[in-house]
Structure 1
Amino acid sequence: MKKTITYFLLLAFSFVLFSCKKETENRWNVEIKTTEPVKITDISAAFYNDKIPFQNFKKDFGFFLAPQVPDATYEKKRADAIEKRVYKDALNKNNLANLEKQLAALFAHIKYYFPEFKIPQVYVFSSATELYEEPILYVPNKGVLFIDLSAFLGEKSEFYEGIDVYMRKEMTPQNVLPKVAETIAADYVPATPDHNKFLDKIINFGKLMILQDAFLPETMDQYKIHYSKDQQSWAISNEENIWNYFVENDLLFSDDNRLDERFLAKAPFSKFYTEIDPKSSPRVGAFIGWQICRQYLEKNPEVTLQKFLHLPATEIFNNSNYKPKN
């Protein structure tokens, strides 16, 4: 009888552990009951349409034009054969009907966590790669979202000559949705102007990544952090080594702003100042901050997303009991 009771206690304990683990793993797989359709307006379709007089385009999309730029300059751009080719390729690489469905799902997830979120009017256009560094513009108080499709042609695009290779890695159609999610998520991460320690910064990046987990539960991690497959594999394999370097060099509570450029900024690789640098993944500080935040939420499943976003970095770190995964 005693053995039987022990067996059932163990079984029950295992069930609880499994249930908790399953709940943690599925934290972001929420049921979305309503999804509002998204209708994309393609500004460049009208801009490059020879049958539409420029003054008519200007009447409909004057908000898109820079007032200091003469009409003659825009007229010249409309007739530019290469710009038209870039736009055509952008449409071929980015299916707008599919993007509308993806954005509808994304917006529904954002609204699930932030009911006050207003679904923006979405505009796409082609800048002929001029705006590749900042291809997403979100203006919440105006209720608009702009997406430059020419920044998502694929890293081997013929039109990306002269753009750094490390930048091209994230200029793929798979990165459109994560870029949009990241841009909107930045609006929900509270600013911490009085906290300039490295730990504060990596945790803030971690919060941004957690929001992407919540907004894009079915998207692969490598796209959320804008890594190539190899960069993602390197970061995962070297998580313990990265963490040890931060700890052994007393970086966590450092206020040295040069650490931003070394471990948080967009770059071809991170800068440990060792021979491994060229092989390393960029932005490993953001990657580590993400893992700390994930472990905090795994250990504290009762904490809501909204409350988590407002927690101090030191509280998240201390209560995460962070240990790099081997």
Structure 2
Amino acid sequence: MALKDKGNYLCRYDNIIMKYIKFLKIVIVFCVLWSCAKENKIEKEIAAIPVEIGIERFDRIFADVTEENLADVKMRYPFLFPEKTPDSVWIQKTKDTIQLEINNEVEKAFSNFSTEKEQIQSLLQHIKYYFPEVIVPRVITVTSNVDYQRKVILSDNLLIISLDTYLGTDHHFYSGIQSYLKGRFVRDQILPDVATMYAKQLVELPRNRTFLANMIYYGKEMYLKDLFLPGFLGSQKMAYTEDQFAWAQANEEEIWRYFIDRQLLYSTEADLLPRFLYPAPFSKFYLEEIDQEAPDRVGQYIGWKIVSSYMKNNNVSLRQLLLTDAETIFNASKYKPVR
């Protein structure tokens, strides 16, 4: 081929490449705009769902309990007063110095709960969009002597939130509690915690004991939280700091390779759950250079990514997802960790 012909050929080739790149850019922009338009349409439909809630500040009501009004308060909130506990115990508690300090600290932190009220209302609209049968609950705020094992209780038509477990990481009430737990005792975690409780009610427990089944169980929970809390960060949904979430994102491929190389997916070893799925100071890879940096629950993060990939690559409904077993989800997910 003559030099002139080669030059013409290369120019034509370059033009084709440039046109192809331009076409790809147009396609990408169109897809983004279409996706945004679809999301906006869904959000408009969600916003139109009639949900009205009130916030019953039982924390304040109990702070004002006296011998004269105790009977009336018990009649209004019988589920908060065990029958076998005599009235004298409740009256004594209202005068207890620790309870008085809790009352004061909660009132300082939550003198205004209007933002949370709006957020809970929006959360319930999102939940009812996907699951219309869900009942709008009575929302009640309480104090619980910092019972961080039960920060949020969802039972029947009751949603109970313990405000004294959301006073901030450095609050002196939490001085004896491990740091990895205290990081979640912040106001911004109220909504993700409420969403978690609803997700737990909607997702069936794993059908077998494999590590994969448990990862997918948590992945389903996280996928529901994605739908319920579209305006929240991934770090908030995982109850991670931003640095912890960034670490999980940056090391997704290495985490996955570790699970695969050690053939953990179908293992039923009980210690895998506390190592990679349950709250802990860190995920236990038993590799010194990693364990010092890895956040806890990285198995939940991977499960979330697998379920998201499954829903992206398969035309299935949300209810079908919840009924599908872990192995089917994994095999059809086409999951590839982000490099």
Given the two structures, how large is their TM-score scaled by the length of structure 1? 0.90
Q: Are positions 1:281 and 2:295 aligned together?
A: yes
Please tell me the residue identity of whatever aligns with 2:57.
D
Where structure 2 has 5 or more consecutive residues not aligned to the other structure, the ranges are 1-12
**What residue number does 1:318 align with?**
331
**Which residue number in structure 2 is paired with residue 159 of structure 1?**
173
For structure 1, the residue ranges without an aligned partner over 5 or more in a row are none
Which structure has more relative contact order (CA 8 Å, sep 6+)? It is: 1
1:206-245 to 2 correspondences below 5 Å: 206-245=219-258
Judge which range, 47-56 or 107-116, deviates more.
47-56
TM-score, with length taken from structure 2: 0.86
Residues 126-205 of structure 1: matches in 2 within 5 Å?
126-129=143-146, 131-140=147-156, 143-193=157-207, 195-205=208-218
The percent identity for this pair of structures is 34
CA contact (8 A) 1:268 1:281 kept: yes
Instruction: Tell me the secondary structure at the aligned position of residue 122 of structure 1.
Output: strand
In structure 2, do the counterparts of structure 1 residues 185 and 24 end up closer, same or farther at CA, with 3 Å as the change threshold?
farther
- Counterpart for residue 43 of structure 1: 58
Question: Of the two, which has the highest radius of gyration?
Answer: 2
Opposite residue 264 of structure 2, the aligned amino acid is: L
1:135 maps to a residue whose letter is K
SS at match of 1:279: coil
Residue-by-residue CA offset, 1:217-270 (whole Å, 9 max, x unaligned): 001111111112221121111111111110000000111111011111111101
1:263 aligned residue: 276
1:176-217 CA-to-partner distances (Å, cap 9, x unmatched) read 000000001111112333x21111110110000000000000
Partner of 1:80: 96
Aligned length: 320
* Counterpart selection for 1:67 from 83, 91, 97: 83
Cα distance in 2 between the residues matched to 1:205 and 1:27: 27
Alpha-carbon RMSD across the aligned residues, in angstroms, is: 2.5
Report the Cα distance in structure 2 between the residues aligned to 1:295 and 1:92, rounded to whole angstroms: 44
Write the deviation string for residues 155-188 of structure 1: whole angstroms up to 9, x where unpaired.
Answer: 1111112111111011100000000000011111
For the residue of structure 2 that corresponds to 1:89, the secondary structure is helix
1:26 offset after TM fit, Å? Answer: 8.0
Give how far 1:42 is off. 1.1
Q: Distance in 2 between matches of 1:89 and 1:185?
A: 30
Q: Which aligned runs of 4 or more in structure 1 are off by greater than 4 angstroms?
A: 3-29
Q: Deviations over 1:288-314 (max 9, x none)?
A: 1011111222223x3221112212212
Aligned mates of 2:37, 2:192 — CA distance in 1:
20
Q: Does 1:96 align with 2:96?
A: no
User: Structure 1 residues 125 and 278 mapped into 2: Cα distance closer, same or farther (>3 Å)?
Assistant: same
> Aligned residue for 2:9?
none
Q: What one-letter code is carried by the residue in structure 1 that aligns with 2:124?
A: F
8 Å Cα contact 1:41-1:124 kept in structure 2: yes
Aligned counterpart, 1:246: 259
CA contact (8 A) 2:65 2:91 kept: no
Q: Which amino acid aligns with 2:286?
A: Y
